[in-house]
Amino acid sequence: MFLIKLLLLLLIGLTYGEDYYKLLGINKAADNREIRRAFKKIAVVQHPDKNQDDPEAHAKFVKLTRAYEVLKDPESRKHYDMFGVEKETSSWSNSKYHSYSYYRDHFGIYDDDPQIITLNSADFESNVLKSDSQWFVNYYSPSCSHCHDLAPTWRKLATELEGAIMFGAVNCEEDWNLCRQQNIRSYPSLVFYPTNERFNGDRNRENLLEFILNRLKTDIRFVNSNDDWEKLTVKNEYISWLLLLCNGESQTECLSVQERTILAAMLNNLVGMAVIDCQAVAMCKDFLDGEYSTAVYWEKAQHSNSYAARVLNNKQPLEMAKEVLDYIPGLKQLDTGSFKDILNQLEMGSQTAWLVYFHLGAAAELDVEVKKLPAMLQQLNVGRVNCGHHATICSDLSVSRYPSFAVLKPGGGYEFYHGTVSAHSVAQFAKESATAINLRTLSQHLFPQLVTESQDGNTVWFIDFYSPWCPPCLRFLPELRKASRTVDSVRFGTVDCTIHSQLCKEHNIQSYPTTMLFNRSEQAQRFQGEHSAHSVIDFIQDLLNPTVIKLNEETFYTKVGMKSPDSIWVVDFFMPWCGPCQALAPQWRKFAKLVSDQENVHIAEVNCQEETKLCSQQGVRSYPTIRLYPLRSHGLNTVALYSGYHRDAKSFRQWLFSFLPSRVVELTPDTFTQVLQGNEYWLVDFYAPWCGHCNVFDPEFRTVAQKLEKKVKAGKVNCDSYRSLCQRTGVTQYPTVQFYSPGSNNYKGLEITSQSADRIISFVEQKLANHYTRIHDEF
């Protein structure tokens, strides 16, 4: 069998031996858009329909298509990067491809349009849903004719409104899961964010433009007197203004309302914008020449009342906005000396973070775009480094892609941006990153210095090994930032495995993201759980303050093997490499916390990779194996095996509680009457044996009964057996919990709507407190 697998692997390697990245002419850091563009460029040249005289055309194109299919999918790309071959699938040798016209006309509709950002599931949440920017997103399918009909209009609008609003596109054929999450059911679907409004109507330029203009964020001031002008200049809201100086009673020579709105949106938060009535405001005479309206860039000196003014040469909103951006000062240039000074100041306690733009040579269009950043990031400093002139800075930080953006943080750490390069997206990242000072990027040099060989042996690190092309990795990074703000007892770090591949190999990283907790006092622990801040925090707290007892051969026999009859042990025997065991791990920790208040109940685990002898002695042959050593048994004399289908915390708790004595009394119609006539408080759970929610709720109710044992009695009524009784109490759904005061004689008690033990306890204690307060007041 091994020989067959080896031969198959060699066959795949020989058939698809070419480097897929070289085949498409891209580097290993290429994102999905770059991959699509590269493939399309080759496809329209090398397609067999265009090379019918070449007998090898079909075979060549199959290889190209296969390279694209492997690299566009995160899972198959991850496998290819790690092992140099693609995953074995039944279809690996049967690659198909579309017609020449498909690649020419339908493939990657918006990939060549810089004004339209192709979004995917990795960057949609951070760029769109969590952004302050306004977006108009086109959800389309390449095979949809209406989508192609819309494309020219969409491109034209994106060009006209560049900078006023962000235009996005989502290919629902490739990112169907994102489209399903956004409830997209037809193509094209046009959605405006952040209000999540859908466009309905004829998809022509006029209708779409009107829809957008009615929603654009603008701040246009109207100056109709000298007093208005004085107020505008005294407030110092903006250092610079774009002034539209208008002559004539109706201001007909000014930009139209539509043009003003577009221009104001393009310059929103960058400069102020005001419309001046020059028949009423004296300052206009300094700028106007004749009877025509003029646009003026007006900049006030920071420490004096002087100002500088420039008359704009252009008349169209987009060109006017570009001219204004040309007048705005560029980012501060940083050299080796000033960069080191910044790092030193941050290490010494400076609290103002820096966003740094790393570039190689000139990038005229991007240089204009990044000028927007200082206005968007008024709480941060913003600078730039030309890596062609200051290579040492960039090599020290392992800058390998251009352009790159990094946030330098208080304390001396830094973090790189990964995603679409636009001022809005970079600014959103910078705001998040600057507040996550407990998270920093680690390099091959810094990792041993700070983590594995640190002089401070007590520092615990939570390290994320990732790749910037991996969508789950990019979704996880914002969650790490959130977690790092909450847990200050642990340091957080990230390692880019496309740059520091050797470091990742040293730690046996075989998939992305892989996250590990490094504690010098014990072996590194791999994170298992959801890629969310909440899950990360729980994982760290569980490891630093464990509720699960780790057993070895000695402690297993002294603690479990010699257990007393009044204690219960529940033990998980697992293997670290076992997939189901890895999935179980976070649920097992959650289970331990859920039952941590149960007396004499101990939740433990045995690592069978480390304790081979012990697991063999106990006859453990499959993983995970969960065993319970119950009450009224000595040591290992009695054992129960968990055989439930569901391996989650609540299912384990329900199973455990079936072995514990209950403080909940089963009530009949006769005993229920005694409850109503008695002089004690009661909580009653009305349930049905067939009701799944009732079974899940049962451990919660038993926990309530245990915690309130000395204050309130607890009972339960089987409504399948006593339907008439449940009808008299007004119970119509299960489970229902009702609270009864002493001597109420009323079958319908006070219903408690929550099924949370903590909330039920809080409700009851509040009622009891009110009762005793009332008695005290009467005396």
For residue range 631-672, what is the model confidence (pLDDT) as tens digits?
Answer: 989 999 999 999 888 888 888 988 998 898 888 889 998 898
- Within this chain, do residues 256 and 232 fall inside the same structural domain, yes or no? yes
Amino acid identity of 558?
A: T
pLDDT for 145 beyond 80:
yes
pLDDT for 8 beyond 70:
no
Highest averaged pLDDT of the listed ranges 1-5, 294-298, 438-442, 726-730: 438-442
- Within this chain, do residues 88 and 180 fall inside the same structural domain, yes or no? no
Domain assignment present for 388: yes
Domain assignment present for 5: no
For residue range 407-458, what is the model confidence (pLDDT) as tens digits?
Answer: 999 999 999 999 878 888 899 899 999 999 999 999 988 898 888 776 666 7
Rounded Cα gap, residues 117 and 122, in angstroms: 13
pLDDT for 776 beyond 50:
no
Q: Confirm if 620 and 635 have CB atoms less than 8 A apart.
A: no
Q: How confident is the model at residue 591 (pLDDT cuts 50, 70, 90)?
A: very high
Cα 635–Cα 640–Cα 643 angle in degrees, nearest 5? 150
Domain assignment present for 505: yes
pLDDT for 289 beyond 70:
no
Output the pLDDT for position 16: 42
Highest averaged pLDDT of the listed ranges 108-122, 194-208, 358-372: 194-208
Output the pLDDT for position 13: 40
Domain assignment present for 13: no
- Within this chain, do residues 197 and 316 fall inside the same structural domain, yes or no? no
Q: In what order do the strands lie in the sheet with 414-416?
A: 332-333, 381-386, 354-359, 404-408, 414-416
Rounded Cα gap, residues 571 and 550, in angstroms: 9
Rounded Cα gap, residues 741 and 384, in angstroms: 72
Instruction: Out of 394, 473, 504, 581, pick the active-site residue.
Output: 581
The mean per-residue pLDDT over the stretch 147-166 comes to 92
Domain assignment present for 652: yes
- Indicate the number of domains in the chain: 6
CA distances from 578 to 435, 464, 574 (A): 38, 21, 8
Domain assignment present for 4: no
- Within this chain, do residues 283 and 177 fall inside the same structural domain, yes or no? no
C-alpha torsion angle, residues 613, 616, 621, 625 (rounded to 10): -70
For residue range 611-638, what is the model confidence (pLDDT) as tens digits?
Answer: 999 999 999 999 999 999 999 899 999 9
Q: What is the domain-level CATH number for residue 57?
A: 1.10.287.110
Q: How confident is the model at residue 86 (pLDDT cuts 50, 70, 90)?
A: low
Domain assignment present for 238: yes
Q: How confident is the model at residue 293 (pLDDT cuts 50, 70, 90)?
A: low
Q: What is the domain-level CATH number for residue 176?
A: 3.40.30.10
Output the pLDDT for position 699: 86
Nearest to 484 by CA among 415, 553, 424: 415
- Within this chain, do residues 364 and 386 fall inside the same structural domain, yes or no? yes
pLDDT for 572 beyond 50:
yes
Question: Can 284 be counted among the known catalytic residues?
Answer: no
- Within this chain, do residues 366 and 490 fall inside the same structural domain, yes or no? yes
Nearest to 102 by CA among 76, 70, 74, 65: 65
Choosing from 148, 182, 215, the residue where a domain stops is 215
Output the pLDDT for position 290: 57
Tokens coding 382 = 């913003």
Contacts of 254 (CB under 8 A, 6+ apart): 244, 246, 260, 275, 293
Choosing from 215, 238, 256, the residue where a domain stops is 215
**Core vs surface per residue 270-306: b (16+ CB within 10 A) or e:** bbbbbbbbbeebebbeebbeeeebbbbbbbbeeeeee
- Within this chain, do residues 449 and 521 fall inside the same structural domain, yes or no? yes
Output the pLDDT for position 627: 95
Domain that holds residue 77: 20-105
**Neighbour count for residue 565 (Cβ, 10 Å):** 12
Of all residues in the chain, the percent with pLDDT exceeding 70 is 89
- Within this chain, do residues 376 and 461 fall inside the same structural domain, yes or no? yes
For residue range 362-389, what is the model confidence (pLDDT) as tens digits?
Answer: 665 677 778 888 888 888 999 999 998 9
- Within this chain, do residues 257 and 317 fall inside the same structural domain, yes or no? yes
- Within this chain, do residues 89 and 113 fall inside the same structural domain, yes or no? no
The mean per-residue pLDDT over the stretch 52-75 comes to 82
Q: Is the dihedral of CA 669, 670, 672, 673 positive or negative?
A: positive
The mean per-residue pLDDT over the stretch 263-288 comes to 84
Domain assignment present for 541: no
Angle between helix 205-213 and 257-266 (nearest 10):
60
Question: Can 578 be counted among the known catalytic residues?
Answer: yes
Backbone torsions φ then ψ of 46, nearest 5 degrees: -100, 5
Q: Using the 8-state DSSP alphabet, how is residue 450 labeled? A: I
For residue range 737-749, what is the model confidence (pLDDT) as tens digits?
Answer: 999 888 778 888 8
Rounded Cα gap, residues 469 and 506, in angstroms: 21
- Within this chain, do residues 234 and 383 fall inside the same structural domain, yes or no? no
- Within this chain, do residues 93 and 116 fall inside the same structural domain, yes or no? no
pLDDT for 462 beyond 90:
yes
The overall average pLDDT reported for the chain is 85
Choosing from 82, 105, 128, the residue where a domain stops is 105
